[in-house]
Amino acid sequence: MKGKAEIIHYIFAYLNIKYEDHRIEHADWPAIKSTLPFGKIPVLEVDGLILHQSLAIARYLTKNTAPGGSVTSTGVLSLVFSDIPPIYQDDFYVTAINAQGTCNHTLHVLDDRVFSELLTCEAPPLLQDLETYLEDKEWFIGNSVTWADFYWDICSTTLLVLKCDMLDSYHRLSSLWEKVQAIPAIAGWLQQRPQSRL
Q: What is the CATH number of the domain that holds 93?
A: 1.20.1050.10
pLDDT > 50? residue 131: yes
108 in a structural domain: yes
pLDDT > 70? residue 119: yes
CA distance 21 to 44: 10
Choose from 75-79, 84-88, 189-193 the range with maximum mean pLDDT.
Answer: 189-193
Q: Which of these, 61, 54, 45, lies nearest to 90 by C-alpha position?
A: 54
Q: Which pTM value belongs to this model?
A: 0.79
Q: Which of these, 180, 134, 138, lies nearest to 10 by C-alpha position?
A: 180
DSSP letter at 168? Answer: T
Q: Is 73 exposed, middle or buried (0-12, 13-18, 19+ CB in 10 A)?
A: middle
54 in a structural domain: no
160 in a structural domain: yes
Give the SS3 label for residue 87.
helix
Q: Containing domain of residue 150, as a range?
A: 70-183
Number of domains in the chain: 1
Mean pLDDT value across residues 164-192: 93
Give the SS3 label for residue 83.
coil
Query: Cα–chain-centroid distance for residue 145?
Result: 15
pLDDT tens digits for range 43-78: 999 988 889 888 888 888 888 666 655 544 544 554
155 in a structural domain: yes
143 in a structural domain: yes
